[in-house]
Structure 1
Amino acid sequence: MSWALLLALCALLLLAVQLLRFLRGDGDLTLLWAEWRGRRPEWELTDMVVWVTGASSGIGEELAYQLSKLGVSLVLSARRENELERVKRRCLEISNLKGKDILVLPLDLTDTSSHEVATKAVLQEFGRIDILVNNSGIAQRSLCADTSLDVYKKLIDLNYLGTVSLTKCVLPHMIERKQGKILTVNSLLGIMCLPLSIGYCASKYALRVFFNSLRTELATYPGITVSNICPGPVQTNIVKNSLTEEVTKYVGNDGDQSHKMATSRCVRLMLISMANDLQEVWISHQPFLLVTYLWQYMPTLAFWISGKLGKKRMKNFKSGVDADSSYFKFFKKKHD
């Protein structure tokens, strides 16, 4: 057998292995490689000061639990102080942290005038901010024709402007130290487009572009990393708390969550991204991950597919059926 043929067979085998990993994977190929061969969060993130917004539930709450086990100092922010205290108590129960290692800092991200004061409070308590995790946000489920403009304003104020404002308050401190990590929990809907969530998609698109652009401005500070974390469907209460046609109306139920990724797995992949300073990661089971690749690299085909699936999504929504899960029965499974 010639060397050329052997190399060709090896290349085909490698391609087949990568394709199999992708079809069975729950993250983009760069992230999966980092999980396999990259740096471990247990090595890289200990003894850091991490500020997590939206820490009272969902991804933010799970992130607090997993970070506490790594021995970091935590700042927990959200609007509901009682829920933050609950998360703090749980962190202390499952880790070696002491009460002084966790600061509960209530914060309304839409009240941008409070962000500078909050930042100073963190610096006064711990002296530094090593990692800022922008996790706060709200989703939307309603048709554009039925939706009040106030809903879109709230989505932009909370998901985009509030996050930008807090980042701007923390950034000068990181520039002064010439180091730090800024992670923003975006969404696969910051890459693709779907009906019923166009205001949410727009706010996440804006976030993605802002932080990708910010990374270019910080090129002279290689010690500061900016990461966009883009999860797909995750088992949280984000659908339940989604806005509908009016800012005072919410979906009120979680729908079918069996096709969604376990929150613990999503957060573990986020920590791997954090430890390896990945610039953008996509976290999701199939077929959402494949559709994201299509949106990124074959947008014309993605528009056609999303148009077909979007009709079914809107039909489900109008019929009171879960908007997403019913047409993914083939992929549907329970995740621990």
Structure 2
Amino acid sequence: MDFFTLIGLVVILYLFIYIVALSISDCDLALLWADKINNKLSTLKGKVVWITGASSGIGEHLAIEICKHGAKVILSARSEENLRRVKQRCIVESAALPDNVSVLPLDVTDFSRHEHVFQKAVQQFGKLDIFVNNAGRSQRAVWEDIDIEVDKQMFNLNVFSVLSLSRLAIKYFNEQESGHIVVTSSIVGVVPAPFSASYTGSKYAIHGYFNSLRNEKMGSNLEVTLLCPGPVFSNFLNEAFTAAPGEKFGQKVSPTDRRMTAERCAYLSAVAIANKLDEVWIALFPLLPLCYILVNFPFITRQFLKLVGPQAFQKIRDTKETVET
């Protein structure tokens, strides 16, 4: 066997193992390795973590998960009532001390309050170690029907509020000479989804901004993590933007849908944060291996999309056709 034949066999074996691993995993291989071999969740003990969008879904379960490992948590969202409910869950389910969970109501699109609320967040426990930007909304709409006001509202919530708060956090972390910025993106920030143009655009913007930040701060003690979950059981479809300003999509997620539980997504997100991973993909089969193929083999991507069409792609994402054309 000559050298080049050996190299070819090694490459084929590597690809085979890679495909098999992705077919049985619900996260990318770097995160899978961290979870199974060295999850480092114990390093969260004593850390102060501020989570926006913490009143439901992934944010709620991430708060509970992080509390389990001894972190002090600041919960932010618009609804103080829901935040207090989440605080109680953290106390009951994570055995967190009441004084280690703080409620700090915030509408992230109220930019005038950002600096004031950020200072209040730091004062809660006297420091801030990890800032998790989790607030956001999805969208379902036909591309050409979307009112430009929807794009503006989407970017205000999913992009500009994240940038505004993160810049305050980074200035603080620069003074402390360490810190960790986490942003909940989406798998559509990796592979663009049909019938979610404004949402997809906002997540691509997030990747551009924060990948640039990571490269700019390379070699410093500032960590940047992008979380990219696929479909998750939550209230996101009901709250999603549509093509019209001020309108909610209003559909409920079915219990029979093929989605990851918010608890599992939050656990994997906590592992990614504890291990300070750059970017993680979190999704069930077949979406996860499909994303690898679509990202790494653009020619196959084009042929695949032509073959199956946008409606089939939508069904992979939502388990059903949520937008009629």
Q: Could you tell me how far apart the structure 1 residues matched to 2:17 and 2:314 are?
A: 38
Counterpart of 1:22? 22
Contact map agreement 1:49 1:73 (CA 8 A) in 2: yes
1:126-146 CA deviation, whole Å, 9 max, x = no partner? Answer: 111111111000111111222
Q: What is the deviation of 1:48?
A: 0.4
Contact map agreement 1:54 1:135 (CA 8 A) in 2: yes
The letter for the 2-side match of 1:325 is: T
Change (3 A) 1:287 1:106: same
Q: CA RMSD in A?
A: 2.6
Contact map agreement 1:186 1:204 (CA 8 A) in 2: yes
Counterpart of 2:58? 59
Count the aligned residue pairs. Answer: 320
Q: Could you tell me how far apart the structure 1 residues matched to 2:218 and 2:17 are?
A: 35
Structure 2's unaligned 5+ residue stretches are: none
Moved more, 261-270 or 30-39: 30-39
Change (3 A) 1:12 1:91: same
Q: Could you tell me how far apart the structure 2 residues matched to 1:256 and 1:92 are?
A: 29
Change (3 A) 1:12 1:120: same
Q: Could you tell me how far apart the structure 1 residues matched to 2:62 and 2:115 are?
A: 24
Query: 1:26-175 to 2 correspondence within 5 Å?
Result: 26-41=26-41, 43-175=42-174
1:246-270 CA deviation, whole Å, 9 max, x = no partner? Answer: 1221121224352011111111111
1:269-302 CA deviation, whole Å, 9 max, x = no partner? Answer: 1111111111011111122112221232112322
The letter for the 1-side match of 2:25 is: G
1:2-36 CA deviation, whole Å, 9 max, x = no partner? Answer: xx999998887665444322211111111111112
Give the alignment's TM-score, normalised by structure 1.
Answer: 0.88
1:102-121 CA deviation, whole Å, 9 max, x = no partner? Answer: 11111111111211111100
Report SS of the residue matched to 1:239. helix
Residue 325, structure 1, aligned to residue 319, structure 2: yes
Q: What is the deviation of 1:303?
A: 3.2
Query: 1:167-206 to 2 correspondence within 5 Å?
Result: 167-206=166-205
Moved more, 268-277 or 45-54: 268-277
Change (3 A) 1:212 1:24: same
Moved more, 250-259 or 165-174: 250-259
Contact map agreement 1:81 1:104 (CA 8 A) in 2: yes
Give the alignment's TM-score, normalised by structure 2.
Answer: 0.90
Report SS of the residue matched to 2:123. helix
Change (3 A) 1:310 1:168: farther
Q: Which has the higher contact order (CA 8 A, sep 6+)?
A: 2
Report SS of the residue matched to 2:51. strand
Contact map agreement 1:182 1:227 (CA 8 A) in 2: yes
The letter for the 1-side match of 2:243 is: E
Counterpart of 1:332? none
Q: Could you tell me how far apart the structure 2 residues matched to 1:68 and 1:103 are?
A: 12
1:212-257 CA deviation, whole Å, 9 max, x = no partner? Answer: 0001111241x21101110111111111111112122112122435
Q: Could you tell me how far apart the structure 2 residues matched to 1:266 and 1:11 are?
A: 31
* Sequence identity percentage: 36
The letter for the 2-side match of 1:229 is: L
Report SS of the residue matched to 1:86. helix
